[in-house]
Homo-oligomer: A and B are copies of this chain.
């Protein structure tokens, strides 16, 4: 079990939560101009409700080098015991992947990252060599465009047909020798979650697309959990971060919204007979 998985389990059990908050700063929607302060307040107000945080690097890179200082300060304000997923959906040839893995794990110190598998096994290897870290491979994403390539029927050497995202899940399961691979499967695709879970019965699924993106939360929980009623991380960003534009009460509003999500997930676990 990766160190990420260990941290995740401890925090999830302590907070009775499978909710992850996506720390994706969007100046147009934020009640404060100071992004570091905004992130710090959100983290302070939600750290007892979540199982992890997930900053998406695009939302920091859009501010140039200032953005990286904001990310650095944000990471510092997250308590050490809470696992952090660096969302950059990277993937490059072996020698370059090695540089990226060093950047994400040694320099930034992320506990896990998201990964685009299009370049195949040798693009993953430098990341998988970090056995304590977790690699969430994009399987079926939550956006409308996911259908274009991810749902294409592919034929393998044995002439079996299945959608590409399921083939990727199969390969991920095969490559998971160090037990440090997870999958990204969007909540907007509960049908796909149902199909992927039997292929990867014990993997951790990172599930985005709930909230603003419109995914079905209860359906995602029921379709996504492993046979222990766990094994999922539900990510919500905008719907929690921008619960209110009111400078005086947005922290409270974000906390309340996070509690709602956590509780709705937990209600689904109860209805599955798998309470905390």
Q: Give residues in A with beta carbon < 8 Å to B.
A: 24, 26, 56, 58-59, 61-65, 67-69, 72, 88-97, 99-100, 102-103, 107-108, 116-124, 138, 141-150, 152-156, 161, 164, 167-168, 171, 213
Q: Which 5 A-B pairs have the closest CB atoms?
A: A120-B145, A120-B148, A122-B145, A61-B103, A93-B143
Count of identical protomers in the assembly: 2
Beta-carbon contact of B62 and A65 below 8 Å: no
Q: Within 8 Å CB of A149, what residues of B?
A: 117-118, 120, 164, 167-168, 171
- 6 extra interface residue pairs, beta carbon distance < 8 Å, beyond A65-B69, A118-B150, A120-B143: A116-B116, A120-B146, A120-B149, A152-B155, A154-B155, A155-B161
Beta-carbon contact of B94 and A143 below 8 Å: yes
Beta-carbon contact of B145 and A119 below 8 Å: yes
Q: Within 8 Å CB of A97, what residues of B?
A: 58
Q: Within 8 Å CB of A213, what residues of B?
A: 93
Q: Within 8 Å CB of A103, what residues of B?
A: 58, 61-62, 64, 67
Query: Can you give 11 A-B contacts (C-beta < 8 A)?
Result: A56-B92, A58-B92, A59-B96, A59-B99, A118-B150, A120-B146, A124-B145, A149-B164, A149-B171, A153-B155, A155-B161
Beta-carbon contact of A119 and B107 below 8 Å: no
Beta-carbon contact of A148 and B164 below 8 Å: no
In chain B, what residue has the closest Cβ to A145? B120
Quote the shortest CB–CB distance from A22 to chain B (angstroms).
10
